[in-house]
Structure 1
C-alpha cells in the first residue's frame, strides 16, 4: 500500500495543537515513535515554536484555512539531513477536528543532482573560481546595488603575459598547474569584497566592490589592488621541475550604476587590458574614453540594422535537426537569421543580434523571423518529406515579455494558415525565471494553442528541478559550450549525462547543439543522446539548398 511505501512519509497533524495524530511505518522508522508528540519539536530537533517556513503557518492568518486547501513545499530535515518534497492537504479528521495530511517524498538525490549541475555550470572546473556565467550574474547584482547607493565598483580584467610560451614549452598539464597557482595568488591578494573568476584560458576577471562614492578615491583603491596582483603574479613559479617567470596585464573599468550593460563593461575592461599590454605589459590601465569610438561604430551599425529590417535585407538559413533511432532522420530545422549588408557583405548574428536586443529592434526583427518561418512551413506543405519538419525559432527575452507576444504570434500563424505545432519556440533559462507566474501563464497559453516549447542553452542558467517540472515544455537543448570539449572534459560529459537523465525523467526530448565532429557525435550517442544539431550534419543553408 502507498501508505506504507518505504520511500514516502505520511502523517496527520492537528492544525491547532500541532500534535501528530497518525504516522505511517516510514515516518516511525525514520524519526521514531511520533504519535502524540508535537510535530515541530519532533521533526526539527526540539524547536520551541511552529516552523516559520511551513506554508500553513504563513497563510493561516487572518482567516482559518478551509478543508481541501493544499500546499506543496520543500525542506531539508535537520535530523537526517535529507530533502523532502511535501504535499499537504487540510482534512476533517475526527469530531470536526482539522488536520493536515502531509505526504513527504525523499528528493535528496534530485537535489544533489541539481546542486551538481549548478556547481558545474557556475564554476571553472580547473581553478574552482567563478566562471563567466556566475561572474555576469554577480556584476548585474552589483550594478543594481551601486545604482541604489552610488558606490563605485570595478572590473579588473587580468591576462597572463606570454602564457602561450608555457604551454608550448612544457605542455598543457604544466600550464594548468600554473593557472591554478595564479588563481591561488589572486585569491590571496584580494582582501576586499570581490568575485574572482576565470573566464577561459589565461584570462581572469575580478569584480571588486567598494563603499566609495568619490571616483578618485575609488580609483586609488583599484590601483592599489591591481598593483598587488601584478606583484604577486610576477613572482617566480616553481612547478614540478620547471621554473617560470610570468607577468600579467590588467584592464580596469569603473562603474557605479546600471547605465552600461554587463557585456559592455566586460568589453571595456578587455580593451583596457589590451592597452596595458600595448604599454609594455606587467602594468594596468583604466578604460580609455577614446575607445568609445568603437562604440560609435556600433551605433552606426544599429542604424543600418533598422534600415535592413525595413528594406528586407534579411534572410533565413536553416540548420537540420537529426533524430537517431536505427538510422539518422531529419525531423526538423532551426531557423537562423542572416544579414547581407549592401557594403559590408554578410554580418555575423553574433554582431548584430546584441545590437538588436539593446536597441529594441529585436521586436520587429523577431516578428519578421516568425512570419518568414511560417511562410516557409507553408511552402513545404506540398513537399513529401519536408512537410513534416518542425521549425525551431529563437525567441528573445524582450520579445517574449511583450504583452502582445501571444496574440502576435497567433495572428502570424493564422494568417499563414499553418498549425502552431509546426513551430518550436526556443526560450532561454534566464528568461524563464523572471516573473515566474507571468511566464508560466504565458507558456501554458502557448502550449494550449499547440506551440511546441524548448529551453535553449540548458545547463547554463537556473536549471532548477523543482521549477522545471512546472514548465509545459517539450525539449531541452544542451548548450554547445558543453559539447565543445565533451571528448576531453569529464565535467562536460557529467553535465550532459545529467541533462539527458533529467530529460528522460520528465519525458522531454533532449537535443545536443553544436555537434561539429564525428568524435562528439559518437560520444553523445554512447551516453544516450538521440537528437542532434550541428555542422557535423549540416551548416545553416538557405531553404533552396535543403
Structure 2
C-alpha cells in the first residue's frame, strides 16, 4: 500500500506541475476524482483561503453536485460560520480527521443528508505556504471510515502540492499584473497599451482606431509648491477622472503626467476630435488639494490608425507628436495628427530596395555590447549587434530594418550573415589568445527558429570556425518563444544537442512564456531593459525584477540585466542577486577591434561601484 500511495503522490505532482492559471480548476478536479477513487470515499473538495472577504472559497469538488442553486450556498463559507473541520485546519495547520459524529449544522451532514442518518467521516488537510494557511483539501465518507496513518501522510503530501500550485499561480498572476499596470494609478502601462493597440490594429479588426495622448499642463508647480506627495495624489485623482469620463476606453499611464486613451469603439477622426474636446473640458474641473482649489488643463494629441495598415508604435508616435504640437501652441487644446504617408512609404520602400543587395556586402557590419560581472568588472560575454551603412539614411540600427527584413522574408538570410560574421570574428579573437573564457551572444529572430535547416546551419557554422558550442549563446525573445511554441520547443532541444547556450531576451516584457518556461531548455534570462533603467527609484520595477530573480532561482537559470544606465540600477541589481549586466553605464556597443581590446584587457574598472552593496537578509 505504501508504494501505491507513493505513486499517487507522484501522479498528482506530475499533473499539478502542468497546471496553469487557466487550467488549474480543471486539473484540480481531475486530481480530486483520482483521489476519491484511491481513498474509496464519496466526495472531495478543494477550498482556498480568501482573507479579503474572510472566507473559504470553493475551487473544485468531486463529484460535481447536481441541481446547485444560484447562488451556490456552499461556494463561499465565511470564517464566522465555518465548519469546525475548516476551523481546526486553520488553527492546527495539520490534517484533521473527524468521525461520524458531527454538529448538526455541519456542511458534511448537509452533503450526506438521507444517507446513514446524515453521518459523515471527514479527513482534511490545510494548504500551508510560508507558515500561513491558504486553503484546505478534504475528503468525505458517508458513514464511518478509519483513516490509516499512511493515508493521512499522503493527504498531507498532496495538500502541500496543491499549496505549491496555488502559490505559484499567485506569483505568476502578481508578476503579470505588475508587468501590465502602473504602480501609482493602477492604470495600464506602456507594455499593456502596445499589446492592446497591436490587437486593435490587426488585419480584419474594426477601424479606424483612435488614440488620444493626454499631457497635463503645468503639473510642475504643484510638485514644487505643494510637494511630490500632493503631485502624486493629483495624478491618482486625475486618473480616476479619466476613468469616469472615458467610460469603457482602454486607459494607460506612460509615466509622469502622460496618459493615453483608446476609445473602445471605432471612431473617425472627426468623431474622435469631438470626443477629445469633451474629455478635455471634463478634466478641467477644479480639485481641492491641501486647502487649495487647483485647476489644470490638459493638452491632447489625436491620431487615428487603420487596422492592417498601421502599427501600434507608429500610431502612438503620431499621437505623441500631435500632443507636442498642442503643448507648443500653449496647451489646453486638441491637436490632430496628419499622416505623412509619403515619407513613411519612401523610407520603407528604400529599405526594402537596398537591404537584400547589401547583405553579404561591406554595407553591413557588427558592433558588440559587452556583458560585465558587476562584482569583479570581468568582461564575460559580447553580444553581436548588426548595423547597416545605408546609402541615404546613414548608419541604421536594427530597429530600423529588422522588422522589414522579417516581413520581406530576409530575416533568415540576414540572421545567417550575422551568425557567420560573428563566429568568424570571435574565432579570430580566440586564435589571437583573446576571449578564451568569454561567450559570444547572437540574437535569433522568430523566423529563423522555425526555418528548416536552422539547427544544422548553426552546427556547421560552429564547426567551420573551430568553436565549441558552449562558447555560443543564442538569444531569443519571448515573442519568438510563443510564435510557434511546439516548433520552437523542438528547435531549442535540438540546439541544446549541438551544445549552445539558450537565453530568453527582453524577459518580462510579456508573460505568455511563463507557462512554457519549465519545458524549455533555457540557460539564461535577460531582464528587459524597461524594468532596469529606473531601478533604485521605481518600486514597481523593483518588484518585477525581484519576481524575475525568484523565477530564475526556482528554475536554476542564470540572469543578465539589460539597460543598466545608472549606478543606482547596478547597485540595486547586485543587492538582489543579479550581478551580470549590460548597458550604457558599462559600455555602448563598440566595433569589433574595440571589443577585442576589451576582451584582451579581460576586465574594466567600475569606479561607480567602488562601494559594493552588502547583500541584505531579505534579498532574493
What TM bracket, shorter-length normalisation? 0.7 to 0.9
The answer to whether the aligner puts 1:147 opposite 2:147 as a matched pair is: no
Match of 2:213 in 1: 157
Q: Provide the secondary structure at the position in 1 that maps to 2:282.
A: helix
Q: How has the CA–CA distance of structure 1 residues 281 and 304 changed in structure 2, closer, same or farther, with 3 Å as cutoff?
A: farther
In structure 2, distance between residues paired with 1:330 and 1:499: 23
Among candidates 475, 486, 493, match of residue 542 of structure 2: 493
RMSD between superposed Cα atoms in Å:
3.7
Q: Provide the secondary structure at the position in 2 that maps to 1:380.
A: helix
Alignment deviations for residues 425-449 of structure 1 (CA, whole Å, 9 cap, x no partner): 1111122122321221111111122
Match of 1:130 in 2: 188
The answer to whether the aligner puts 1:207 opposite 2:265 as a matched pair is: no
Please give the residue correspondences for 1:39-50 in structure 2 after superposition, counting only pairs within 5 Å.
43-44=60-61, 47-48=64-65
| The 10-residue stretch of structure 1 (410-419 or 329-338) with the greater mean CA deviation from structure 2 | 410-419
Match of 2:178 in 1: 120
Q: How has the CA–CA distance of structure 1 residues 464 and 115 changed in structure 2, closer, same or farther, with 3 Å as cutoff?
A: farther
**Is the CA contact 2:211–2:261 (under 8 Å) kept in the aligned structure 1?**
yes
Total equivalences in the alignment: 480
| The 10-residue stretch of structure 1 (412-421 or 303-312) with the greater mean CA deviation from structure 2 | 303-312
**Is the CA contact 2:477–2:507 (under 8 Å) kept in the aligned structure 1?**
yes
Q: How has the CA–CA distance of structure 1 residues 256 and 316 changed in structure 2, closer, same or farther, with 3 Å as cutoff?
A: closer
Give 5+ residue unaligned stretches, structure 2. 16-28, 47-57, 67-126, 128-132, 138-154, 598-620
Match of 1:281 in 2: 331
Match of 2:299 in 1: 249
Please give the residue correspondences for 1:327-342 in structure 2 after superposition, counting only pairs within 5 Å.
327-341=376-390
The answer to whether the aligner puts 1:418 opposite 2:418 as a matched pair is: no
**Is the CA contact 1:174–1:239 (under 8 Å) kept in the aligned structure 2?**
yes
The answer to whether the aligner puts 1:36 opposite 2:92 as a matched pair is: no
In structure 2, distance between residues paired with 1:303 and 1:358: 13
TM-score normalised according to structure 1 size: 0.77
What displacement does 1:186 show?
Answer: 1.0
Q: Provide the secondary structure at the position in 1 that maps to 2:366.
A: strand
Q: Provide the secondary structure at the position in 1 that maps to 2:431.
A: coil
| The 10-residue stretch of structure 1 (488-497 or 473-482) with the greater mean CA deviation from structure 2 | 488-497
**Is the CA contact 1:18–1:39 (under 8 Å) kept in the aligned structure 2?**
no
TM-score normalised according to structure 2 size: 0.69
In structure 1, distance between residues paired with 2:30 and 2:498: 44
What displacement does 1:411 show?
Answer: 3.5
In structure 1, distance between residues paired with 2:245 and 2:63: 44
Match of 2:312 in 1: 262
Among candidates 209, 219, 228, match of residue 278 of structure 2: 228
Q: How has the CA–CA distance of structure 1 residues 165 and 352 changed in structure 2, closer, same or farther, with 3 Å as cutoff?
A: farther
In structure 1, distance between residues paired with 2:314 and 2:30: 57
Give 5+ residue unaligned stretches, structure 1. 24-34, 50-75, 85-100
In structure 1, distance between residues paired with 2:213 and 2:240: 16
What displacement does 1:184 show?
Answer: 1.3
In structure 1, distance between residues paired with 2:240 and 2:348: 38
Alignment deviations for residues 216-271 of structure 1 (CA, whole Å, 9 cap, x no partner): xx445423421221012222343335544322222333345222222122223223
What displacement does 1:103 show?
Answer: 6.2
Among candidates 7, 18, 22, match of residue 38 of structure 2: 22
In structure 1, distance between residues paired with 2:382 and 2:262: 40
Match of 2:590 in 1: 541
Q: Provide the secondary structure at the position in 1 that maps to 2:201.
A: helix
Among candidates 549, 555, 573, match of residue 506 of structure 1: 555
Alignment deviations for residues 2-22 of structure 1 (CA, whole Å, 9 cap, x no partner): 9589x999699999x978233
| The 10-residue stretch of structure 1 (156-165 or 350-359) with the greater mean CA deviation from structure 2 | 350-359
In structure 1, distance between residues paired with 2:34 and 2:589: 62
In structure 1, distance between residues paired with 2:213 and 2:536: 30
**Is the CA contact 1:8–1:103 (under 8 Å) kept in the aligned structure 2?**
no
| The 10-residue stretch of structure 1 (504-513 or 333-342) with the greater mean CA deviation from structure 2 | 333-342
Match of 1:185 in 2: 241
The answer to whether the aligner puts 1:174 opposite 2:230 as a matched pair is: yes
Among candidates 296, 311, 318, match of residue 361 of structure 2: 311
What displacement does 1:539 show?
Answer: 2.6
Q: How has the CA–CA distance of structure 1 residues 14 and 315 changed in structure 2, closer, same or farther, with 3 Å as cutoff?
A: closer
What displacement does 1:296 show?
Answer: 3.0
**Is the CA contact 2:475–2:504 (under 8 Å) kept in the aligned structure 1?**
yes
Q: How has the CA–CA distance of structure 1 residues 445 and 233 changed in structure 2, closer, same or farther, with 3 Å as cutoff?
A: same
What displacement does 1:387 show?
Answer: 2.1
Q: How has the CA–CA distance of structure 1 residues 282 and 8 changed in structure 2, closer, same or farther, with 3 Å as cutoff?
A: farther
**Is the CA contact 1:40–1:48 (under 8 Å) kept in the aligned structure 2?**
no
